[in-house]
């Protein structure tokens, strides 16, 4: 199994990465920055995790990363969680990551 996970260092993403890695797959774990050592250790306890830096709002960059990974499964776990005030101030950002990121 070769899986690509966006939002890999978030709560849902890190648990998906860990589970896929435990199943013996190669996991390409994407986040906007590289994770700390504790996150890396948790995710790859039993399996291969390849961390990559990317952003779901960078369509071409994301296409390139996924194509280069050779992954046959893509899981979108990236999300922006704002307070109500922040969501009102930056609705386009929330929509772009949470909805358009899925596309």
Percent over 90 (pLDDT), the chain: 57
**If pLDDT is split at 50, 70 and 90, which confidence band does 99 have?**
confident
* Torsion sign across C-alpha atoms 42, 25, 48, 2: negative
**CA-CA distances (angstroms) from residue 21 to 6, 8, 9, 49, 82?**
15, 12, 14, 7, 30
Tell me the average pLDDT of the chain. 89
Cβ atoms within 10 Å, residue 94: 17
Q: What predicted TM-score, i.e. pTM, was given to this entire model?
A: 0.86
Average pLDDT (9-34) is 93
In this structure, the chain runs to a length of 103
The 10s digit of each residue's pLDDT in 34-57 is 999 998 888 877 778 999 999 998
CA atoms within 13 A on the CB side of 72: 4
Percent over 70 (pLDDT), the chain: 100
Residue 89: predicted pLDDT: 87
Above 90 in pLDDT, residue 63?
A: yes
- Distance between CA atoms of residues 61 and 81, nearest Å: 23
Give SS3 for 17: helix
């Amino acid at each position: 199994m070769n899986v690509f996970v966006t939002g890999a260092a978030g709560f849902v993403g890190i648990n998906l990465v860990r589970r896929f890695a435990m199943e013996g797959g190669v996991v390409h774990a994407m986040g906007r920055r590289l994770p700390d050592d504790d996150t890396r250790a948790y995710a790859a306890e039993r399996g291969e995790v390849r961390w990559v830096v990317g952003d779901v709002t960078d369509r071409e960059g994301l296409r390139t990363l996924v194509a280069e990974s050779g992954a046959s499964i893509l899981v979108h776990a990236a999300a922006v969680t704002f307070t109500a005030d922040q969501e009102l101030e930056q609705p386009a950002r929330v929509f772009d990551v949470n909805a358009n990121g899925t596309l």
